[in-house]
């Protein structure tokens, strides 16, 4: 069973930057010989997450607002007192949203919905160079 691992690279602005990764991941799936299997996506790092959303400005802004209510930037965070890096909110957001996604591949294509895009959420309080692990397995 073929398994291939690659990375895709993204520069983010920080401050809950939400980036559509779908075209880059589709390209990796297309290049792969796998017709039926799955793609596993993982972001190393404790201040970023992966999820899916309809990538249009309204839904993206709604998601940012909802996350901001759950873990506001100006809330109290023990992490900030211990480390002084001011991104306690980012660690909490990332932990709640999760670092990985698993998408089935059927007949050479990811089984995403028509209005469903794969997005990176970078919660950190500064710009970051992010590397996302893309592992494709199947036959
Ligand atoms: Zn931190």
Sorted by where each begins, the domain ranges of the chain are: 3-138
**pTM summary value:** 0.95
Query: What's the 121 CA to ligand 1 centre distance in angstroms?
Result: 16
Question: Residue 47 C-alpha to ligand 1 middle, in angstroms?
Answer: 8
Kindly report, residue by residue over 71-126, the tens digit of the pLDDT. 999 999 999 999 999 999 999 999 999 999 999 999 999 999 999 999 999 999 99
Averaged pLDDT for residues 62-67: 97
Tell me the pLDDT tens digit for each residue of 27-58.
999 999 999 999 999 999 999 999 999 999 99
Do the beta carbons of residue 125 and residue 14 sit within 8 Å? yes
* Cβ neighbours around 84 below 10 Å, total: 7
Q: What is the pLDDT of residue 14?
A: 86
> Could you say which of 3.40.50.720, 3.40.605.10, 3.30.70.20, 2.60.120.460 is the CATH number of the domain covering 3-138?
2.60.120.460
Cβ-based neighbour number of residue 135 at 10 Å: 16
Q: Answer whether 63's CB lies under 8 Å from 119's CB.
A: no
| Distance of CA 51 from the midpoint of ligand 1 (Å) | 21
Which tokens go with 26? 């589709």
For the chain, the residue count is: 139
Å from CA of 75 to ligand 1 middle: 14
Please, is 52 exposed, middle or buried when counting C-beta atoms within 10 Å of its C-beta (0-12, 13-18, 19+)?
middle
CA of 8 to the centre of ligand 1 (A): 24
In this prediction, residue 2 has a pLDDT band, given cuts at 50, 70 and 90, of: confident
Distance (Å) from CA 46 to ligand 1 centroid? 8
């Amino acid at each position: 069973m073929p398994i291939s691992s690659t990375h895709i690279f993204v520069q983010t602005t920080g401050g809950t930057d939400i980036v559509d990764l779908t075209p880059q991941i589709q390209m990796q799936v297309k290049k792969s010989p796998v017709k039926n299997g799955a793609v596993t996506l993982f972001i190393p790092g404790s201040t970023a997450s992966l999820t899916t959303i309809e990538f249009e400005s309204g839904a993206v802004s709604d998601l940012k607002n909802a996350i901001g209510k759950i873990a506001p930037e100006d809330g109290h965070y023990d992490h900030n007192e211990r480390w002084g890096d001011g991104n306690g909110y980012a660690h909490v957001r990332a932990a709640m949203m999760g670092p990985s996604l698993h998408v089935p591949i059927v007949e050479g294509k990811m089984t995403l919905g028509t209005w469903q895009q794969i997005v990176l959420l970078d919660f950190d309080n500064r710009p970051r160079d992010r590397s996302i692990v893309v592992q494709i397995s199947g036959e």
